[in-house]
Amino acid sequence: MVPDESVFAAAGRSPIDRRTLLRTLGLGAAGIAAAPWLSACTGGSGPSGGGSSSKSLTFGSSASDEVPKNAYKAVTDAFTKKTGDTVTTNVVPHNDFQNKINSYLQGSPDDAFTWFAGYRMRYYATKGLVAPIDDVWEKIGGNYSDAMKKASTGDDGKMYFVPNYNYPWGFFYRKSLWAQKGYTVPKTFDELKTLAGKMKNDGLIPIEFSDKDGWPAMGTFDYINMRLNGYQFHLDLCAHKESWDQKKVSDVFDTWKALLPFQNPNALGMTWQDSAQSLGAKKSGMYLLGSFVTQQFTDKAVLADIDFFPFPAIAVEGTDAVEAPIDGLMLSKKGGQNQAAKDFLAYMGTAEGQDVYASVDPSNIATAKGADTSKFTPLNKKCADVIANAKSISQFFDRDALPAMANNVMIPALQSFIKDGSVDVKNLESQAKALYAAQ
């Protein structure tokens, strides 16, 4: 399926609970649309090094923000130094890259490229637009948990993806502001609403919020849905095994309405980076986003002042489920014929390669076993613990669901809801039924 394009992002760093990520990606596959460009490259070698000194590859990267862009440059530089292989990197704005991935892969793609686990990986593998990398996994398989291996496996049982990092979503805040105001971490949804009310009375934007790019609001939908209806319902709704036209879904939006008065009223005109700056400037009390939000805090004093807490309990399953998307690398069909590109992916699948990345971008949690945790900040440790202790791990709506459903249906529906608090679940079901039936 390729009716339209998509959007989405983020990152993370450390092994995660194997029980539930195994289930997270067992859905189906779905598509998006895209356009061809992205010629980039970086060189590589496997965990044992070596590599041919005369080889080269191109690397297409959606890591367009300064911190992750520099982190991948550090990786490609280290890979070239280790192997002698040259890497040409083509960095494309994150949303553009994701929106045009389909036509990119069908056009003249780079050898290796950044991508995500979940439907987003499985769909292109099913369509034959990416290369299997079972030979790479023969080298790096021991570096990953069973959960990570499952997250990297296509519907045909072959390997297609090398995880680099993942990251939890939660409410981030500045510790000094909370200490000054006497705020405490809410354990329940009612406590969250009470806290938001206090923040509003104190002249703050209680819940920083942005949705100009369409995808950030999905995190709020996912959490309220999982907290109300459970993790399995989230998966089944994403796979359209559950109808959108039912009370459980309406309850999600009705519950969310209680937060709308506390969210940033300018959310539809703001990017996640804009909202991060507001949080850093102590204009807002808390911000629901992935841990990649810390990439925006270049002042070390501000960064050290950041903490977070999981989305509070509402009904079922407490806070057992966490959103912790996995980002990593894949090979195009062309890249599957390039040994240097395979070597580069193998390098990214080692603690060595991921430590290089994390040395520049510590906002995420490395996925390879043996990755260095000695320099983890208290925030890094908390992020890693939240992921490791989660009983259920979701990949985020845009990665767990059919891409056309996420992009063409949910983005406009959520933006409309944010604007006026209205949503038509019958219409959501009608569109979902048509899109999933077309698969």
Segment 159-175, tens digit of pLDDT: 999 999 999 999 999 99
Same domain, 304 and 349: no
Same domain, 290 and 214: yes
User: Containing domain of residue 262, as a range?
Assistant: 169-323
Residue 246 inside a domain? The answer is: yes
pLDDT above 70: residue 12? no
Q: Are 326 and 116 in contact (CB under 8 A)?
A: yes
Residue 400 inside a domain? The answer is: no
Same domain, 225 and 367: no
Same domain, 196 and 243: yes
Pair type for strands 284-290 and 205-208: parallel
pLDDT tens digit sequence for 42-52: 333 333 333 33
Same domain, 234 and 136: no
Residue 410 inside a domain? The answer is: no
Residue 356 inside a domain? The answer is: yes
Domain count, the chain: 2
Same domain, 373 and 289: no
pLDDT tens digit sequence for 216-262: 999 999 999 999 999 989 989 998 999 999 999 999 999 999 999 99
Same domain, 22 and 123: yes
Choose one of 273, 303, 323: the last residue of a domain. Answer: 323
pLDDT tens digit sequence for 80-91: 999 999 999 999
Same domain, 257 and 301: yes
Question: How far is residue 385 CA from its own chain's centroid?
Answer: 17
Same domain, 220 and 318: yes
Same domain, 188 and 57: no
Same domain, 149 and 213: no
Residue 423 inside a domain? The answer is: no
What's the full length of the chain, in residues? 439
Residue 120 inside a domain? The answer is: yes
Same domain, 96 and 177: no
Q: How many CB atoms lie within 10 A of CB 200?
A: 15
Q: What is the CATH number of the domain that holds 230?
A: 3.40.190.10
Choose one of 375, 394, 413: the last residue of a domain. Answer: 394
Find, among 214, 234, 223, the residue nearest to 5 by Cα.
214
pLDDT tens digit sequence for 53-73: 449 999 999 999 999 999 999
pTM of the shown model = 0.77
